[in-house]
Structure 1
Amino acid sequence: MNAQLTVFPTEAALGAHLAAEIADGMERAAAEGRRYLLGCPGGRSPRSTYQALTALVRERGLDLSHVVIAMMDEYVVPATGGTGYADVPHDAHYSCHRFAREEIAGPLGIPGSRVWFPEASAPHLYDQRIADAGGIDLFVLASGATDGHIAFNPPGSPLDSVTRVTALAEETRRDNMGTFPGFTSLSEVPLHGVTVGVATILRSSRALRMVITGAHKRTAVRRVLVDTFDPAWPASLLAEGGNAALYADAAAAAG
């Protein structure tokens, strides 16, 4: 089925709306005495949401001791010795660990012990960890502009894909040069990543909110608003999710 589309006049308005939705959920979870898991991507699209959430948490004086941030992915490189993969350095300008620390968890005052990542050495354990914690309350999602990647799931990712190490599509790597401007050439962008799968997102989440902003992502809006999942555009998984919504700003939704 088509996800519900809501169009906001600006990226900032979108971020403020989604931040309020997340903060409300955090407050409800605290009142119920349970943990709240927030699924988060890195990248440009959710930045306005993270910034608005930080401001709102401070404004409301929220206690986030029950909140866990579940990140989607990380770049990996061949491990020393040639067996398996290992994370890139966590202080690298393109590290998702760095992004989470500096742009999500740090501003929110959430310690690293409550920021979860899939691990390249045992990616399958991430799905189980999320399930054992009761699932993700709300997963913030974003779509690649040119190939529809979601997290590091490349075009062709099946609906039943789970957390794994995968080769990154060239278009994904080009998109990520915009996300991390410290890259000076495509050759600097890693070739692999550990990522949650399409099934990981769909099976573990009680709510899905995809954020698409900017005129350069008009194709993404069209490709996401479909009736069934299209493996050629992994972000179309929104069609298969319950309680799923697409939030776009006016620039992305134009036409």
Structure 2
Amino acid sequence: MEVVIKPAQETARLAADAIVALIDAKPDAVLGLATGSSPLGVYDELAKRHRAGEVSFAGVSAFLLDEYVGLAQEHPQRYRNVILTELVDRIDLDPARVHGPDGLAQDIPLACARYEQAIVDAGGVDLQLLGIGTDGHIGFNEPGSSLASRTRIKTLTGQTRVDNARFFDDDVDRVPHHCLTQGLATISAARHIVLLAQGGGKAEAVHQMVEGPVSAMWPASILQHHPHVSVLLDEGAAARLQLGDYYRQAFQAKPEWQGL
């Protein structure tokens, strides 16, 4: 696990660099896309580079981490609609190649199994973008989630619903109680994971993820077992790290050719 501590604008550029380098090497790359506030700077950077002619997403496929259960197809906070607005509509990624769990499925277990198989059939995710919740969740794998979990329905914690109320006019009662989410094992199958976090509210979760024991109580800690994880933090999110100075020194001394 590599930890990089830089201003948020710079971490967004580093994540975009990794995505562009991947697509340069593999034009039919499979991306894992996250919603929420953490990746927004990355999407802005990718849209800017696309406008400048630096990258094409025409051959790329994408899979979403999660989806609320029961939100109407036209609801602006349905995650497929969010990702269309935040990224897909701004670049040349074919919307038909953007896949997400079906939160309106009549048979939810079957929909989850089919989503897992679709990821496998696509060859797996090459690079997965992630954020992290204040309670350490990734995707919607709340504390207590099985470290071996796959795509399934989950009940959101009260804290997650409070955190997400800002997307529903600050009305927590409008935040759904259930979601479909890739499991921790599904996420861990991605070949490269890039996790971004900003602000002091994420500091304890980041500390537990990077420096705490691997535990279902802090689901993101499963990433300690992954061979290629890049954790991109601003100073606030890095505030609880015991080895912060070492992470800064290691990145400063990193060979330029290595990338994330």
Task: Report matched runs for 1:9-48 at 5 Å.
Answer: 10-30=7-27, 35-48=28-41
How much does 1:217 deviate? 1.3
CA distance in 1, matches of 2:94, 2:123: 20
CA distance in 1, matches of 2:87, 2:220: 22
More deviation in 56-65 or 108-117?
Answer: 56-65
Corresponding residue number in structure 1 for 2:116: 127
3-state SS in 1 of match to 2:77:
coil
Q: Is this contact kept in 2: 1:148–1:234, CA < 8 A? A: yes
3-state SS in 2 of match to 1:193:
strand
3-state SS in 2 of match to 1:39:
strand
Residue deviations 1:35-84, cap 9 Å, x none? 2111011000010011111112222442322111211111113xxxxxxx
How much does 1:104 deviate? 1.5
Q: Is this contact kept in 2: 1:69–1:105, CA < 8 A? A: no
Q: Is this contact kept in 2: 1:18–1:49, CA < 8 A? A: yes
CA distance in 1, matches of 2:102, 2:78: 14
Corresponding residue number in structure 2 for 1:96: 79
CA distance in 2, matches of 1:109, 1:63: 7
More deviation in 189-198 or 122-131?
Answer: 122-131
Aligned residue-pair number: 234
How much does 1:91 deviate? 2.5
Corresponding residue number in structure 2 for 1:166: 154
CA distance in 1, matches of 2:13, 2:53: 14
Corresponding residue number in structure 1 for 2:165: 177
Corresponding residue number in structure 2 for 1:108: 91
CA distance in 1, matches of 2:169, 2:225: 35
TM-score when normalising by structure 1: 0.87
Q: 1:254 aligns with which of 221, 239, 249?
A: 239
CA distance in 1, matches of 2:151, 2:213: 22
Corresponding residue number in structure 1 for 2:243: none
Gap change, CA 1:211 and 1:91, over 3 Å in 2: same
Consecutive unaligned residues of structure 1, counting only runs of 5 or more, are 78-87
Query: Which letter does structure 2 place at the counterpart of 1:63?
Result: S
Task: Report matched runs for 1:90-239 at 5 Å.
Answer: 90-120=73-103, 121=108, 122-145=111-134, 147-178=135-166, 180=167, 182-203=168-189, 205-226=190-211, 228-239=213-224
Query: Which letter does structure 2 place at the counterpart of 1:50?
Result: Y
CA distance in 2, matches of 1:56, 1:112: 19
Corresponding residue number in structure 2 for 1:85: none
Asked whether 1:74 is paired with 2:67, we answer yes
Residue deviations 1:94-136, cap 9 Å, x none? 2111111100211123232011102243111111111111111
3-state SS in 1 of match to 2:47:
helix
Corresponding residue number in structure 1 for 2:257: none
More strand by share: 1
CA distance in 1, matches of 2:138, 2:23: 25
CA distance in 2, matches of 1:104, 1:237: 28
How much does 1:228 deviate? 4.8
How much does 1:183 deviate? 3.1
CA distance in 2, matches of 1:170, 1:231: 18
Q: Is this contact kept in 1: 2:58–2:94, CA < 8 A? A: no
CA distance in 2, matches of 1:227, 1:191: 29
How much does 1:251 deviate? 2.1
Q: Runs (4+) of structure 1 moved beyond 4 Å?
A: none
CA distance in 2, matches of 1:167, 1:222: 25
**What is the RMSD computed on CA atoms of the aligned residues?**
1.5
CA distance in 2, matches of 1:128, 1:229: 27
3-state SS in 1 of match to 2:19:
helix
